[in-house]
Structure 1
Amino acid sequence: MEKTGQPTINDVARIAGVSKKTVSRVINRSPLLNDDTRKRVEDVIGQLGYIPNPQARALALRRNFLIGLVHDNPNAQMVLNAQQGILEALHGTEFELVVRPVDRGSATMLDDVRHFLERQRLFGVVLLPPISENDTLAKLCTSIGCRYVRMGSAQLDDPAHMVTSNDSQAVTAAVNHLIEQGHRRIGFVAGPHGFRSARERREGFERALSEAGIAFPRSLSADGTYRFESGIIAAERLLDLMPRPTAIFACNDEMAAGVIHVARQRGLEVPRDLSVIGFDDTAIASHIWPPLTTVRWPIASMARSAALKIISTTADNDDGAVEEPSMFRSTLIRRASVSSPTE
């Protein structure tokens, strides 16, 4: 008897000669397939007119087709770049993105995240720094069966649950660039206390000076919060020094822009009187004058990989898509804010 009714995923798998898992991966645009298999399954889907039922699949998985982005980060551009990367990974799939800011200083932070994950029944979650550095939060995700990937500046987890960058080495390369230009009195605008990225970037800065035999007195270091305003405050203090630094490295572009703002207010020309380097390569780096030399942090690529690690897993394969890269290299982008000192 000829079969009637809507075609099912079982029909697609049987005719294509593959498993249901493979059909699911084709539907979700998983990268873990060769082109021949993908095309064969897509052809059968087209011939049968099969339409996936996300509600039924979500019920079977006891999860919605939602990927969460959980963050507590003062850098709005970083969050936007992370969203961009995740949305690139989700394009053409059944998955949607849900963004949830939290307060890492709150006594109820873990409970707040738990309620969010359970209420939304998320398929998985991407955790941005600094909350990605919280091991208890990662264990919470595991305990309620929510897939997770942590983003950060150092290896915090196994490759299936982590994407990281080489912040420390990248900052060392950036400071070496200043040293090669002849700078010896280099100021430092730090990131917020408690951020692993801030610690990694400071270590990279201090390593470059130490290897070059250059002293780093406490007076040449100023605290920052990753915000533009904190860059202004830090620059006011550093540029009040006598003698003042001939170059300043700031731990992100927002603070570096604040440094350039103060320098121009004081009649200093960048880079003739003061060289400046930032970190991130956000839009502000190429929009200010002079364009900012900075370290390009591949946040969108990292977020894309994090999302792909999550959606490439299936209900019967929770080992994670470790084939997605876990390490992303930051690179120095040379623009017009650095030159040799005139003194």
Structure 2
Amino acid sequence: MRKKEPVTLTDVAAAASVSQSTVSRVLSRYPRVNGNTRKRVLDTIAKLGYDTSAIQRKQAARNSKATLNIEFLLCPRAEQKDMLSLSYFSTVFDSARNYFGRTDNVNLNLCTWDKTRVERPWARLAAADGALVIGTPDRDLLRNLADHHIRCVLIACGSEEFPLDVVGTDNISAGAAAARYLLDNGFTRIGFVDFPDSEEWRLRKLGALAETAERCGAEHFQCRVSASTAPAPLAATFREWMAEGNFPEALILPYSKAMLSLELVLHENGLSCPADVSVISFDDGVNDSFHTEPARFELFPDRIGAKAAQRLLQLIHGSDETPHRIDVPFDFIPGKSVRTRK
């Protein structure tokens, strides 16, 4: 007599009309499964006599692992009073937390770097199994992380001076690509808005934009530095620039919401985008508040957060301790903020 083949997870999924991953989630007691779906899967398991012991052993082994304590270190600029109220940072945090939740037992703790109270956050970092660092860390923090061999991943920040892992986007190369896009569309007076930054990053940005200055003439390529990323200082920067009488015909903005300040100043002067000024930006959340959909290099903070969490676990588990720079690619969205000149 032929021996009966054991019931597989694939058999259960087919009989319950769900995916194999849904069956796995039910067996792992994953909370976000529809109640009716959960009941149908469990009834099918009982009806077919599926042996769940292997999955239960795997779950028990996972639960027996030591809990990892990981610090999510926020390094805000002066104007960023609540970093997690900004969509980019909150999305990075949520995606990192979700990744940890799928792969390891992790306590993810929020911590803010405050220069005036270095002892407290530093003690937490030194005691943690690892750290994710986001925002604008200063050189002293980066040096301490490197010197004390803290397992950490910097998210969209860092310095080539220190051998630390970085996950982010190559916004310097993307900025150069934005400039080329404007040049190729016939613009010759191009401007770039920046924020206070380290000398190293400033030189890298200007180096990447050197081609722009060369192709349109140095006198036609301008850069202005806003006092901060807040709307009021940005608007003040645009007003001062406009008052000088040499406002560029095309702008590269560091993030899309900066366009709201630009649109305000253009309206004050009877101008509009893209009829009078064309814009390319970096996306940190585009919504209906824009009068004109910005052309932009779209960021993927969810991918950045997950990739940073994955890389940190590799460091903690010792699978690859060589510092890496991992860039998550941009997508260019043409939008409607660049006027075709050719």
Relative to the length of structure 2, the TM-score reads: 0.69
* Alignment correspondent of 2:298: 296
Moved more, 268-277 or 285-294: 285-294
**1:77 corresponds to 2:87:** yes
Give the Å deviation of 1:272.
Answer: 0.3
- Counting only pairs closer than 5 Å after superposition, residues 1-343 of structure 1 correspond to structure 2 as 45-46=54-55, 48=57, 51-52=60-61, 57-58=65-66, 64-73=67-76, 74=80, 76-93=86-103, 94-103=105-114, 106=115, 108-109=117-118, 111-118=119-126, 121-131=127-137, 134-139=141-146, 142=149, 146-152=150-156, 156=160, 161-194=165-198, 200-204=204-208, 206-216=209-219, 221-279=224-282, 281-284=283-286, 287-313=289-315, 317=318, 319-320=320-321, 326-340=326-340
Aligned equivalents of 1:235, 1:293: Cα separation in 2: 19
Aligned equivalents of 2:202, 2:255: Cα separation in 1: 9
Q: 8 Å contact 1:132–1:150 — kept in the other structure?
A: no
Q: 8 Å contact 1:189–1:221 — kept in the other structure?
A: yes
Aligned equivalents of 1:47, 1:331: Cα separation in 2: 41
The DSSP-based 3-state class of the residue aligned with 1:69 is strand
Give the Å deviation of 1:81.
Answer: 2.7
* Alignment correspondent of 1:30: none
Give the Å deviation of 1:155.
Answer: 6.5
Q: Classify 1:235/1:49 alpha carbon distance in 2 versus 1 (closer, same or farther; 3 Å).
A: closer
Across the aligned residues of Structure 1 and Structure 2, the Cα RMSD in angstroms comes to: 3.6
The DSSP-based 3-state class of the residue aligned with 1:87 is helix
Aligned equivalents of 1:216, 1:85: Cα separation in 2: 44
Amino acid at match of 2:333: I
Relative to the length of structure 1, the TM-score reads: 0.69
Q: Percent identity?
A: 15
The DSSP-based 3-state class of the residue aligned with 1:283 is coil
Computing the radius of gyration from Cα coordinates, the structure with the larger value is 2
Give the Å deviation of 1:237.
Answer: 1.3
Gaps of 5+ in 1: 1-26, 28-41, 59-63
Gaps of 5+ in 2: 1-27, 29-50
Q: Classify 1:228/1:246 alpha carbon distance in 2 versus 1 (closer, same or farther; 3 Å).
A: same
The DSSP-based 3-state class of the residue aligned with 1:272 is coil
Q: Classify 1:230/1:277 alpha carbon distance in 2 versus 1 (closer, same or farther; 3 Å).
A: farther
